[in-house]
Structure 1
């Protein structure tokens, strides 16, 4: 797999060669992911219905409504012929949020039938001409129906990129990072995979190990324990915190192959004193935590404790 952006565009934290990151995510997704029926189709109409229903609605709640909707109106032509009041009534009865979404979906179906002779636009720009279809939805349909989209950037993806690669909280930076990481010509699997990562492993409260996050090896947040993100309130009192100390341990061990406790300690805290409050016992506890997380190896021999990054 390859990146889609030049090295000069690439945000600093994103790997210069993203192929290992790409492969890890796609393999993780293809091995196991949440099963939703709209992930089993490439029909643009069915995918558009799922995208519109999913706006601000939990995916698990959408499944029954999506299946009922398609049972009643299985094609864009069938929906275009329906009475709009019936479509809006369906939306209300299934608690799918703002009724204007139903109205726009009905109008979009009519556009496909009347203006495009039943042939769907295949790229984000063309799909954006449909009523009520914004840039995000147009890109999703282009990606999942035609494998012809751009890298998706939603709240979940921003959270993943911010945590994993220290991408700054800036829309342009997120778009550049997402585009750099997405392998060319694979928007369908990639956008599904990175949104799945944000939905099951890198939620507001992360489950890195439980969900077997495939990016732990590269993830800055996993190394430091700082899981703040644009949609997650900043954790208080970072200065002097255990999270900060974890990060300093990792940084020091990246610089050196291995370090004895009394060589590592001063690089973590300037007030390190072997027998003091922030001394060997405190540092061993910090290293034990990192070892439990699979980040650091600790060896004891000849009266010395030596730490190194886990390979």
Structure 2
């Protein structure tokens, strides 16, 4: 993390509450988010490894219609499972074989420390299943048993890099993710931060459109630099309202307060008080930021409006 102490982490409780509240208020409805069955969650995680989530829904439902339990999958003919995988274009067929093998090991009690038909409840135990790597094991432990570590995938790295200026280093990402995740709440937290990366902080960010809950603290939103480890070039948002909002925040970070006509040229080089991009346009932009709790706009006696960051 830059300088070893990202300022937002001093407000970790507020950061956590903002994200979980945002997620719980509204998120994409995927059926595997409505279950804590480790078998159903493992199927969704293996299917999602190389397939867009919207396409996984039909395949997941069809798979569970055919093999509704881990016992049913273990008893299935492996060729039939592989054929299903091919029919739904789910990627490497080895994943189907590994999933079938994992079901057999669960049913036969071949995982250390658990009885036949029972599931290991932590990432370490789940990793004993063939084809279940650290990420998938942690996801199943989190979403089925609320007993996982902080998930760190490409989306989560992008979020942490942009929001908190975390160094592009696996150990730094792991440390930051672990510090932020509330203890014992891996299910909601990992769902929420991955939703943030999928909905608001994709390769082309949708900060305002998606109501990103971390705009108040976000380094990228403040500076307008939305590059990331998987986004080596600045996303195409030149001239967008999002970019202009970021410039307002950046300017106000440098100055205690600015009058509209002093702020305007720092947001757009073509700012003209009475022009298309003038006071009326800037007031509207500032009003949006004020509604989001990011700035305050104060009208002085001489009718001059002064803008400052909200403390």
Task: Choose between structure 1 and 2 for higher RCO, CA contacts under 8 A separated by at least 6 residues.
Answer: 1
Deviates more, 1:208-217 or 1:176-185: 208-217
For 1:252, the equivalent position in structure 2 comes to: 254
Distance in 1 (CA, whole Å) between partners of 2:121 and 2:224 is 42
Q: How does 1:1-311 map to 2 (within 5 A)?
A: 11-114=5-108, 115-116=110-111, 117-235=116-234, 246=248, 248-253=250-255, 256=256, 258-260=257-259, 291=286, 293-294=288-289, 295-299=294-298, 301=300, 302=302, 304-310=304-310
1:289 CA drift (Å): 7.8
Distance in 1 separating the partners of 2:278 and 2:252: 13
Q: Structure 1 261/100 Cα, relative in aligned 2: closer, same or farther at 3 Å?
A: same
Structure 1 unaligned blocks of 5 or more: 1-8, 237-241, 270-275
User: For residues 66 and 261 of structure 2, what CA distance do their matches in structure 1 show?
Assistant: 71
Task: State the alpha-carbon separation in 2 of the partners of residues 172 and 47 from structure 1.
Answer: 27
**Partner-residue secondary structure (3-state), 1:16:** helix
Mapped to 2, the partners of 1:65 and 1:278 lie a distance apart of: 52
Counterparts of 1:277 and 1:102, CA distance in 2 = 58
Residue deviations 1:36-72, cap 9 Å, x none?
1111111111100000000121111011111111111
CA distance in 2, matches of 1:64, 1:197: 23
Partner Cα separation in structure 1 for residue 212 and residue 128 of structure 2: 37
**Mind listing any 5+ residue stretches in structure 2 that lack a counterpart?**
236-242
Describe the shift of the 1:14–1:80 C-alpha distance in structure 2 as closer, same or farther (beyond 3 A). Answer: same
CA contact (8 A) 2:222 2:247 kept: no
Q: 1:49 to 1:209 in 2, by over 3 A?
A: same
Aligned 8 A contact 1:11 1:177 in 2: no
How far apart are residue 298 of structure 1 and its match?
Answer: 4.3
C-alpha contact 1:287 1:298 (8 A) present in aligned 2: no
Deviation at 1:285, TM superposition (A): 9.4
Task: Point out the more displaced range, 109-118 or 194-203.
Answer: 109-118
Shift of 1:250: 2.8
Give the aligned length.
289
Query: TM-score of the superposition, structure 1-length normalised?
Result: 0.82
TM-score, normalisation: structure 2: 0.82
